[in-house]
Copies of this chain bind each other. A is one copy, B any other.
Amino acid sequence: MKKITIGEAARQSGVKVPTIRYYEGIGLLSAPNRSEGNQRSYEPSDLNRLAFIRHARELGFEIDAIRTLLQLQDDPHQSCASADAIAKARLIEVEQRIRSLNALKAELEQMVEGCGHGRVDQCRVIEVLADHGKCVHPHH
């Protein structure tokens, strides 16, 4: 039963020290035991939880969604319908975001290509920004 300091937990989980404290503050992570000198001392299970959180954050889940997912994980007999719904909602978000970013990409490419690298009054970048009508797809 070796003690895991917050720094060690940060190193192993890839979550920064202040962020771990922040997660504790908002109740995403339960408060760990403290050493005699009032320092946080984590258990291996806390590391799993942190890894879970980090992974979910990387996948773009919001803190509130992660809160729900963690509760589900804690109670394995529950139906996984909500986990499924959360993941599906996130998937739809991501798909929309990709579509929208692809439209932006097309727009930006047009701008950059059209730029004659001369003076501002011939610059397509500025021109397109000033006049939305000059966009390839005016609906972004």
* Interface: A125 (CB within 8 A): yes
A83 touches B51 (CB 8 A): no
**Residue in contact with A115 in the complex, picked from B83, B98, B120, CB distance below 8 Å:** B83
Using CB atoms, name the residue of chain B closest to A76. Answer: B121
B115 touches A104 (CB 8 A): no
Chain A 72-116 interface 0/1 with B at a Cβ cutoff of 8 Å (1 = within) = 110111111101101110110011011001101101110110011
Q: Which residues of B contact A39 (CB under 8 A)?
A: none
Count of identical protomers in the assembly: 2
A2→B115 CA distance, assembly (Å): 37
A98: nearest chain-B partner, CB-CB? B101
What is A's interface to B at a CB cutoff of 8 Å? Answer: 48, 51-52, 55-56, 58-60, 69, 72-73, 75-81, 83-84, 86-88, 90-91, 94-95, 97-98, 101-102, 104-105, 107-109, 111-112, 115-123, 125-126, 128-130, 132, 140
